[in-house]
Amino acid sequence: MAPIAPRNGILNIIPYKAGDAKIEGFDRVIKLASNESPLGPSPAAVDAAKLAADSGLQLYPDPSCGALRAAIGEVHGLDPERIICSSGSEELLHLLAKGYATDGDEVIFCQYGFIAYPITIHAVGATPIMVPEDNYTANVDAILAAQTDRTKIVNLANPNNPTGTYLAENEVRRLRDGLRDDILLVLDAAYAEYVDCGDYDAGFKLVDNGLENTIVTRTFSKIYGLAGARVGWAYGPVSVLDILNRIRGTFNVTAMSQAAATAAVRDQDHVAKAKAHNLTWVPKISKALEEMGMKVTPSHGNFILAHFAGGPAQASAADSFLRSKGIILRPVGNYDLAGALRITIGTAEENEALLTEMAAFFA
């Protein structure tokens, strides 16, 4: 018997491959492959998760994430009614595609845009439209030129993973202004907290434009160091959140995760520490790699895209060499960037070890 046919589009998905966490023969590895925080979570978040685990796991969690939304609203100065929480922000990307796109619709994303986008688009049978970039940076004119009568959503990671590049506030505004009003602009700001540029804005102001066509997604997985807890959130128009609330899992964020994230967002000192650590190391590692002859794409995230002069063969050889030393970086051939590796900023010791071994590779 033939296997039961899945819905349209699903077999077009190239399954997401997470960064490796283990190397055979090593008890401990240095994992710089998944943009996880080298500082880990706020101790207050860990305590809150433990307390939640101790106080009634037989009970369903708050389906509305009320305390967490209130805490996020307070810290960011946002109306909790316009906030939705999720099991990681990736869930929101899927819900947005499911809520707004279907067979025959088009969803736009950028050439080196986050690889989750084509997955969410194929999953609903819609057509992914990949738009060329300029110097590893989203190109507003190219996105605008790609819109058609069938365009439903534009996905923009700002800053983007794996490139680390960003669009300034005025460019994002130009993008919104140039898109038809009935196209949903999804601003994925997973790395917003790391950005240290005066001309950057995550997009909350655009959500408030009154047209109900822009949403900003955020995550606790990166600077908050809570990737294992799986918590994301979005700030968007009530009309869009209503669609997402209809189709999400009722209890999509666990009690422990809600507690952890609520404590984490209230500990902005910890966030500031993580940001300062990152701002110290991104330029340090970038400069050191450039002195070894690499090209580094200027990064505004907690990672660096490093290009090898020797192309894919050299990138792959470096990856193997570093693995033989217990260091795992992220190959990005799935982004058509086989000549580069993505390097997450680690602890000071991990970063020093990376630079030592990379120098050994080139020697």
Ligand X SMILES: *Cc1c(COP(=O)(O)O)cnc(C)c1O
Q: What is the binding site for ligand X (CB under 6 A)?
A: 35, 88-90, 114, 157, 161, 188, 190, 219, 221-222, 227, 232
Q: Is 42 helix (H, G, I), strand (E, B) or coil?
A: coil
- Name the closest residue to ligand X (Cβ): 88
To ligand X, the closest distance from the beta carbon of 126 in angstroms equals 19
Q: What is the smallest separation between the CB atom of 291 and ligand X, expressed in angstroms?
A: 28
Shortest distance (Å) from residue 141 CB to ligand X: 22
Between β-strands 327-328 and 30-31, what pairing exists: parallel, antiparallel or unpaired? parallel
The nearer residue to ligand X, 112 or 361, going by C-beta atoms, is 112
Q: Least Å distance between CB 133 and ligand X?
A: 14
Nearer to ligand X, 232 or 237 (CB): 232
For the CB of residue 103, give the shortest distance to ligand X in the complex, in Å: 25
What is the residue whose two structure tokens read 């090593």?
26
Q: Which residue lies nearer to ligand X by CB, 88 or 237?
A: 88
Strands annotated E in the chain: 30-31, 83-86, 106-110, 127-131, 151-157, 184-188, 214-219, 232-235, 295-297, 303-307, 327-328, 330-331, 340-344
DSSP 322-361: HHHTTEE-EE-GGGT-TTEEEEE---HHHHHHHHHHHHHH
Length of the chain, in residues: 363
Classify residue 245 by its DSSP letter.
H
Q: How far is the CB of 235 from ligand X (least distance, A)?
A: 14
**Residues 117, 250: contact at Cβ < 8 Å?**
no
Q: Which residues make Cβ contacts (< 8 Å) with residue 301, sequence separation at least 6? A: 35, 159, 160, 161, 164, 191, 194, 222
Instruction: Tell me the backbone φ, ψ of residue 248, rounded to 5 degrees.
Output: -75, 165
Q: Which is nearer to ligand X, 93 or 129 (CB)?
A: 93
* Residues 13, 251: Cα–Cα separation, whole Å: 27
Nearer to ligand X, 139 or 161 (CB): 161
Q: How many Å apart are CA 86 and CA 95, to the nearest integer?
A: 10
End-to-end CA distance of the chain: 57
Q: Decide whether 35 or 139 has the Cβ nearer to ligand X.
A: 35
CB of 248 or CB of 353, closer to ligand X:
248
Minimum Å gap between C-beta 224 and ligand X is 10
Residue listed under structure tokens 């060329």: 132
* Closest by CA position to 297, among listed 312, 286, 311, 284: 286
Q: Which lies closer to ligand X via its Cβ, residue 191 or residue 361?
A: 191
Cα of 277 vs its chain's centroid, Å:
19
Smallest separation, CB 194 to ligand X (Å): 11
Nearer to ligand X, 219 or 351 (CB): 219
User: Rounded to the nearest whole angstrom, what is the least distance from the CB of residue 86 to ligand X in the complex?
Assistant: 8
φ and ψ at 252, to 5 degrees?
Answer: -80, -15
